[in-house]
Chain A
Amino acid sequence: MSGDHSTYNPTTGFGKWMDSRLPLMRLTHDSFVSYPVPRNLNYAYTFGAILSMMLVVQLLTGIVLAMHYAASTGIAFNSVEHIMRDVNFGWLLRYMHANGASFFFVAVYLHIARGMYYGSYKAPREVLWILGVVILLLMMATAFMGYVLPWGQMSFWGATVITGFFTAFPGIGETIQQFLLGGFAVDNATLNRFYSLHYLLPFMIAGVVVLHVWALHVTGQTNPTGIEIKSKTDTVQFTPYATIKDGLATSVFLLVFCWFVFYMPNFLGHADNYIQANSLKTPAHIVPEWYFLPFYAILRAITFSIGPIDSKLGGVLAMFGSIAVLFLLPWLDTSKVRSAVYRPWYKLFFWLFVANAIFLGWLGAKPAEGTYTTLAQISTLFYFAFFLVILPVLGLIETPRRLPNSITEAVLAKRSGSGGSKPAAAAASPETRG
């Protein structure tokens, strides 16, 4: 969005010289200083900034951990303990990295939930949304491969189970799995390639993040009303308004992060991963990291065959499908109204969806038997029904509440509503109608 409305004015001689050769400062200024953002953004809109920060935290801690880690089945486990005990501040860097992965997912799930609640994925932001789902997939791949590197029991068996997904595909499945593993079982070849890819993928994430932000700056941000920006009074400058808000949210997020890093660094991990990988002994309970649990529950919920698709392939398809369906979300939601604020029924189903996703996560941590399996099947059904039935139908039958004419009107109405004295129209200054 730079160029046409640019307000950048280089003042120094060097600034002017540079601006006519490589207008990097102009791009930065137009994107992060003068860039107009809706004036009614709330704290749900700060997770983009938090995620950017977490990506940097993971990259920095990861790069320095790589200086002390050794990817070989014989010494990988011990090199992680070496980081914890011998390397200066190694314990801190590793705990930041391990908990950083969890907090990255906390932030991304809240970011996605915000997008779903306020209908951020709707036209013209479909590509923006799809790029976000691509980032989510890359994050999942990165987190999974990173978890293998400490070469503990959960590392090994998690890798075995997840690469085992591919054997579900008839005919070529075994070949694909051997191709991924570089052998017939998870072994040294697997560890080495996962290390290489775990180092590569975050930079690919960074690349897609650039595209994601670019797409965001082409369409502009959504806001809690879901109404597009219509006039200058609907917006404020990115800096200082959004910058400071993002800064405060980031600080609070970091406080919670630090609480985990310093006071309960292993709370989100699994004790079995402090046992070195043993290819002849499966732990009694294999559970993935918490952020994969809902998908794990969906995988295990399919215990029955559907026609030619056996239960194993069915589970894998359902699990991949639970992410793939996100790509289609912009077209599955048929409602013209973006924000759940004005969609009473959607709001209800959205919160049911959130509760259901958390419930699936809880089920994913339980053993796959008896009632748990039945409950997981019901939950999985609701997960898919939300996207494939409820969203398309709701858009056709739901009567949305009346939308305000503009962001400004919505903001002022809310303000006078809480004050209780001035009517909205009187509070609105004339130029807001422009």
Chain B
Amino acid sequence: MTANDASGEPTRRDFLYIATGMAGVVGAATAVWPFIDQMAPDASTLAASSIEVNVASLEPGMSLTVKWRGKPVFIRNRTDKEIEEAKAVALDDLKDPLARNANLQAGAEATDIDRSAGEGNENWLVMIGVCTHLGCIPLGQAGDFGGWFCPCHGSHYDTAGRIRKGPAPENMAVPLFSFTSDTVIKIG
């Protein structure tokens, strides 16, 4: 329409049309962005947080649930029997073979030692108490494997928090944590 009929070359007017259109698109996209970005977690939610938990009172077989980043974290002092049961499981029997332990490398295998607080602290299991299926909180010491059972959609976890049966795809996540003393755990 606006092309130079004689040469068939685009005219200066063509250029102006396209340039104006593009500026309009970019302008609209820029204006829309704040409306989208406000949906994301805000600064107060994102503020890095870590908590310290005193676990001195936890005898073997006792658990504690603490809230971290709006989610429950299970801290369990496991009994010898529970540790034995978890160790006896062959890795091939696991639905998710990865440790999902933020303290280890991503590829670590889901052995009992790599799920627990590690050498010397094998009785301690610290994990985010959120079912990896759809985010419910599993019930402790329940289910077919004596670990955790999610009442929402029937996922069974064993005594090392590994998914064994049901729709959940992954083992419950182990957050970044460390023992700051013999009895205090720092999460995050």
Contacts and interface: CB of A to CB of B under 8 A. Distances in A.
Interface stretch (B8-16, B17-25, B34-42, B50-58): B34-42
A280 B65 contact: yes
B136 A312 contact: no
A184 B69 contact: yes
B134 A184 contact: no
B152 A182 contact: no
Contacts of B40: 178-179, 182
Interface residues of B, number: 28
Interface in B146-175: 150-154, 166-169
A161 B39 contact: no
B120 interface: no
B70 A279 contact: yes
Contacts of A157: 136, 152
Interface in A255-299: 279-286, 299
B151 A285 contact: yes
Contacts of A286: 136, 151-152
Interface stretch (A94-102, A185-193, A242-250, A339-347): A185-193
Interface string A140-180: 00000000000000000100111111010000000000111
A343 to B, nearest CB: 38
A79 B71 CA distance: 25
Contacts of A181: 41
A136 interface: no
Contacts of A279: 67, 70-72
Contact of B39 (A165, A182, A313): A182
Nearest to B151: A284
A161 B67 CA distance: 19
Point out which of B133, B134, B151 has the most chain A C-beta atoms below 10 A from its C-beta: B134
Interface in A375-427: none
A310 B169 contact: yes
Contacts of A282: 136-139, 150-152
Given A286-B151, A300-B167, A164 B133 contact: yes
A78 interface: no
Contacts of B39: 179-180, 182, 193
B166 A303 contact: yes
B103 to A, nearest CB: 19
Contacts of A187: 45, 70
Given A179-B39, A182-B40, A286-B151, A281 B134 contact: no
Nearest to B138: A282
Nearest to A187: B70
A361 to B, nearest CB: 17
Nearest to A284: B151
Contacts of A41: none
B169 A182 contact: no
Contact of B154 (A184, A313, A367): A367
Contacts of A178: 40-41
Given A184-B41, A315-B167, A300 B70 contact: no
A303 B138 CA distance: 18
Contacts of A183: 41-42, 45, 70
Given A282-B152, A315-B167, 13 more contacts: A161-B135, A178-B41, A181-B41, A182-B39, A184-B45, A184-B69, A185-B69, A189-B42, A283-B151, A286-B136, A300-B167, A312-B132, A368-B166
* 10 tightest A-B CB contacts, nearest first: A164-B134, A185-B70, A164-B135, A368-B154, A282-B137, A310-B169, A161-B134, A183-B45, A282-B136, A160-B135
Interface of B: 39-42, 45, 65, 67, 69-72, 132-139, 150-154, 166-169
14 contacts: A161-B134, A182-B39, A185-B70, A189-B41, A279-B67, A280-B72, A282-B136, A282-B137, A283-B151, A300-B153, A311-B169, A312-B168, A312-B169, A369-B154
